[in-house]
């Protein structure tokens, strides 16, 4: 009986010795976390939630491949509603969670600007998919990265199109006083004036829904073209509908935040036909490498918003950087290592149609500004302006 017990003990010991110690150790490690910061409630929630779904898709795929060297990846949802004050609160929350190794977002320039000092304080790298204000990468915060071109590329491209293609000589510009809206309007106005175009300027507030005061001023200015530097496509649609109701019919153009089919085109009820909008990325439906992503995304979530592809790409870049930073020691992963790995990203080939690299400031290299026109119920690309890095 004693011999049989010894025999089974030896067999059990032998079986235990066959268990890969590294794998069991990795399974016990805490998950590595990615913060998803954006407007998941409020007026911009459609764009925000589509971006969040794209982040989840990238994370689910990575976990199916083993996560970060065996560490599972989790998403920490950080809803800032596009509000700078809330962006500070969620940044503090992400900063305190030591397992958060990187952040996708925030999406709004004003939210990024408010939260950047917090992320910099704890060396928590971020990749924004849509924050375009030039100042964000000019303030010396090494954690800041974005995969979208800046407004000092978008604004001049829009102005060039207004002059050379739209043929407008008298332009009225409306912004919403936000970091994004005001900054983009400044860029468009400066370039138009340099080209000899007459400009006038007016502002609304993000919560405004009655636009009759400013539209009265627009009507008096008799512009050839009305430019909308607004981040909210639903607000822009409401303004365009009211303009039509007042008998205004200038040519229309807007920034990248307005390229949203359901809220702008459908929301304007036909009044946005022929409107031009700039975009900070090409239509990824034209990129062969993006077809699988689009099929899976729209099969599960319906028509995607403009920044869904950028959100997926940014998450994939962050995960690849985490894996590179982890090397053979996933337990030794640190925020500083991930920051350095993101910063050294070169020629990442994903679904955006160009190899993504970051320059020394964290700005994307190799992107273009595109101009789309509303034709029937969709946006049709009509121009491309390659971006020169500042």
Residue 24, pLDDT score: 44
Q: Could you read off the pLDDT of 256-280 as tens digits, one per residue?
A: 989 988 899 999 999 999 999 999 9
Q: Could you read off the pLDDT of 280-321 as tens digits, one per residue?
A: 988 888 899 999 999 999 999 998 888 999 999 999 999 999
- This prediction has a pTM of 0.84
pLDDT band at 389 (very low <50, low <70, confident <90, very high): low
| 32 has a pLDDT exceeding 50 | yes
Q: Could you read off the pLDDT of 207-255 as tens digits, one per residue?
A: 999 999 999 999 999 999 999 999 999 999 999 999 999 999 999 999 9
Measuring CA to CA, which residue among 175, 163, 251 is closest to residue 206? 175
95: left (phi over 0), alpha (psi -120 to 50) or beta: alpha
Mapping DSSP onto H, E and C, the string for 65-115 reads CCCECCECEEEEEEECCCCHHHHHHHHHHHHHCCCEEEEECCCCHHHHHHH
DSSP 288: G
Q: Give the pair of three-digit tokens for residue 390.
A: 């500042």
Residue 283, pLDDT score: 87
pLDDT band at 109 (very low <50, low <70, confident <90, very high): very high
Tokens 């303030």 map to which residue? 139
| 341 has a pLDDT exceeding 60 | yes
C-alpha to C-alpha distance for 51 and 305, rounded to whole angstroms: 8
Say what angle helices 291-301 and 45-64 make with each other, to 10 degrees: 120
Average pLDDT, the chain: 92
Listing DSSP states for 294-327 in one string gives: HHHHHHHH-S--TTHHHHHHHHHHHHHHHHHHHT
Query: Distance between the two ends of the chain, CA-based, in angstroms?
Result: 81
Counting residues of the chain whose pLDDT is more than 70, the rounded percentage is 93
C-alpha to C-alpha distance for 362 and 126, rounded to whole angstroms: 10
| 3 has a pLDDT exceeding 50 | no
The residue with greater pLDDT, 387 or 26, is 387
Residue 85, pLDDT score: 97
Q: What Rg value do the Cα atoms of the chain yield, rounded?
A: 24
Q: What angle do CA 127, 353, 274 make, to 5 degrees?
A: 95
Q: Could you read off the pLDDT of 346-372 as tens digits, one per residue?
A: 999 999 999 999 999 999 998 999 999
From 58-62, 128-132, 279-283, 376-380, the region with the lowest mean pLDDT: 279-283
């Amino acid at each position: 009986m004693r011999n049989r017990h010894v025999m089974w003990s030896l067999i059990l010991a032998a079986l235990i010795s066959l268990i890969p110690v590294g794998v069991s150790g990795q399974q016990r490690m805490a998950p590595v976390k990615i913060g998803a910061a954006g407007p998941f409630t409020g007026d911009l929630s459609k764009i925000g939630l589509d971006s969040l779904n794209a982040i989840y898709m990238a994370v689910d795929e990575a976990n199916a491949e083993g996560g970060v060297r065996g560490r599972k990846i989790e998403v920490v949802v950080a809803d800032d509603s596009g509000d700078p004050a809330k962006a500070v609160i969620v940044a503090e929350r992400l900063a305190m969670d030591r397992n958060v190794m990187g952040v996708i977002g925030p999406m709004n320039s004003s939210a990024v600007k408010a939260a950047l000092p917090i992320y910099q304080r704890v060396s928590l790298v971020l990749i924004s998919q849509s924050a375009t204000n030039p100042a964000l990468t000019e303030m010396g915060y090494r954690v800041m990265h974005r995969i979208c071109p800046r407004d000092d590329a978008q604004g001049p491209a829009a102005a060039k199109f207004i002059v050379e293609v739209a043929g407008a000589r008298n332009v009225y510009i409306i912004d919403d006083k936000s970091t994004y809206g005001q900054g983009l309007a400044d860029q468009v106005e400066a370039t138009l004036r340099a080209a000899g175009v007459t400009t006038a300027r007016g502002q609304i507030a993000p919560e405004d829904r009655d636009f009759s005061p400013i539209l009265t001023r627009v009507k008096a200015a008799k512009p050839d073209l009305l430019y909308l530097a607004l981040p909210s496509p639903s607000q822009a649609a409401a303004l365009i509908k009211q303009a039509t109701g007042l008998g205004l019919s200038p040519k229309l153009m807007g920034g990248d935040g307005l390229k949203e089919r359901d809220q702008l085109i459908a929301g304007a009820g036909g009044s946005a036909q022929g409107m031009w909008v700039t975009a900070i990325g090409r239509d990824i439906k034209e990129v062969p490498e993006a077809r699988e992503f689009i099929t899976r995304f729209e099969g599960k979530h319906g028509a995607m918003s403009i920044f869904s592809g950028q959100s997926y790409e940014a998450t994939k870049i962050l995960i690849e950087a985490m894996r590179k930073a982890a090397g053979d020691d996933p337990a030794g992963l640190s925020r500083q290592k991930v920051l350095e790995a993101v910063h050294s990203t070169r020629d990442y080939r994903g679904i955006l149609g160009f190899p993504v690299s970051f320059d020394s400031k964290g700005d994307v290299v190799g992107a273009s500004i595109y101009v789309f026109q509303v034709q029937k119920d969709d946006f049709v690309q009509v121009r491309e302006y390659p971006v020169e890095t500042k």
